[in-house]
Amino acid sequence: MRSQDYDRLYLSPPHLGRHEINYLHKALEDNWVAPVGPNLDGFERDICEFTEAQACVALSSGTAAIHLGLKLLEVEAGDEVLCPSFTFVATANPIVYCGGTPVFIDSEPDTWNMCPQRLREALQARVAGGQRLPRALIIVHLYGMPARLDELLAVAREYGMPARLDELLAVAREYGIPVLEDAAEALGARYKGQPLGTFGDVGVFSFNGNKILTTSGGGALVTNRPEWAAKVRFWATQARDQAAHYQHSELGYNYRLSNLLAGIGRGQMELLEDRVKKRREIYLWYCDKLRHLPGLAFGPAEPAGSRSNRWLTTILLDAEQTAVTPEHLRLHLETRNIESRPLWKPLHLQPLFADTPMYGSAVCENLFTRGLCLPSGSAMTEGDLRRVADAIEEAF
Ligand SMILES: *Cc1c(COP(=O)(O)O)cnc(C)c1O
């Protein structure tokens, strides 16, 4: 009775449809095997159509998109950038690529995303200290959650959730700080009906292998300023000036997505609404099945007006009600060949960012201590889900 009796259940594996192969095949047939071609144009058009953004540039990763997005917002050496602590490190690394420093902000308990009050505190403290204001604000929609949804509130009322987008944007505008929206985990999620990624001055998506849609690796930047998209395209292709002889006046990067991978992206984009629907069903299935376990809660909750893509189903364990810890549960699931993962370790606790300013800390540290991500891939069958639920019940 060991793990090889089972197939491994992964946290969020790629889930291909039927049309990716057609786009790939056509690209190979037509010799469009370069970071330029019809799939790339089509993929960007598909993303614009879905998000209703004016312009999109497909790039080699979400991280590259954040990097060039911060360059658009003119983040330079010595600048500070406001950023949630509770996120994947790829949100903050590009700040450092630009020579800047993050200023971390704690989460709020209901949405798990950046706390507007702490954001205001950070800005007030910087004004009071006579310091230069941060150059930009990065908002992250963690685990795909934006802000509020009536239908889900019934399930999630106890547990809280999405970015208080309106409030965050209001605070940033008051101080004239441009916003980069890291929607890497939130493609297909909406706030008041509008797709996430389109609220900030610049929005970023990731098509990494474990995201809701994948091109194996890839990213995209969206903006409502076509001239900004042109600038990103220029930077992403080594910043070549208009000349036959490879002339360069600016520092460039090699960040463009391949036309082959964009073909996978085109096939994936056809499936976006289906994938969101499925991930949401998975979240609800787990809720229904496991809600009865003492000390186990689901979150973040979905406030009215928000529609998360439920990229990953996340749970919280309460040490006062159960002896089962997230690590105990993770190791137990591992014995059943099921992958699970702690919530993102807050960036202010990372050795890399040891001396970085941080406003608040209690909320995201508590979430990190108590949380676990469950297998949430959109290809999961009812049998797969039952296997995870049974293993969790065993642990309890
Ligand atoms: C995945 C992710 C990124 C980075 O995207 P890549 O395509 O992997 O470079 C950035 N921010 C968040 C919140 C992510 O989850």
Closest atom of ligand 1 to CA, residue 66: 10
181 lines ligand 1 (CB under 6 A): no
Q: For residue 295, how far is its CA from the centre of ligand 1 (angstroms)?
A: 31
* pLDDT of 141: 92
- Number of neighbours of residue 1 by Cβ within 10 angstroms: 4
CA of 40 to the centre of ligand 1 (A): 20
Vertex 221 angle, CA 351 and 247, to 5°: 95
Helix intervals (H) in 91-185: 93-97, 116-128, 150-156, 165-174
Residue 142's pLDDT is what?
93
Residue pair 343/371 in contact (Cβ under 8 Å)? The answer is yes
CA–CA distance from 242 to each of 232, 245, 246, 247, 249 (Å)? 15, 9, 8, 8, 10
Residue 107 CB–ligand 1 contact under 6 Å: no
pTM of the model: 0.93
Check if 211 is active-site. yes
Evaluate: CB of 208 within 6 angstroms of ligand 1. Answer: yes
- pLDDT value at residue 24: 96
d(C-alpha 47, C-alpha 43), whole Å: 6
Q: Tens-of-pLDDT digits for all 396 residues of the chain?
A: 444 445 899 999 999 999 999 999 999 999 999 889 999 999 999 999 999 999 999 999 999 999 999 999 999 999 999 899 999 999 999 999 999 999 999 998 988 988 888 887 888 888 888 888 888 888 899 998 752 223 222 222 332 223 456 666 777 677 778 889 999 999 999 988 999 999 888 999 999 999 999 999 999 999 999 999 999 999 999 999 999 999 999 999 999 999 999 999 999 999 999 999 999 999 999 999 999 999 999 989 888 889 999 999 999 999 999 999 999 999 999 999 999 999 999 999 999 999 999 999 999 999 999 999 999 999 999 999 999 999 999 999
Q: Which of 211, 231, 277, 278 is catalytic?
A: 211
Q: 143: left (phi > 0), else alpha (psi -120 to 50), else beta?
A: left
Residues 6+ positions from 242 with CB-CB distance below 8 Å: none
CA-wise closest residue to 315 among 381, 370, 242, 237: 370
Q: Is 63 in the pocket of ligand 1 (CB under 6 A)?
A: yes
Report the largest interatomic distance among the alpha carbons of the chain, rounded to a whole angstrom: 69
**All domains of the chain in start order, with CATH:** 3-14+272-395 (3.90.1150.10), 20-269 (3.40.640.10)
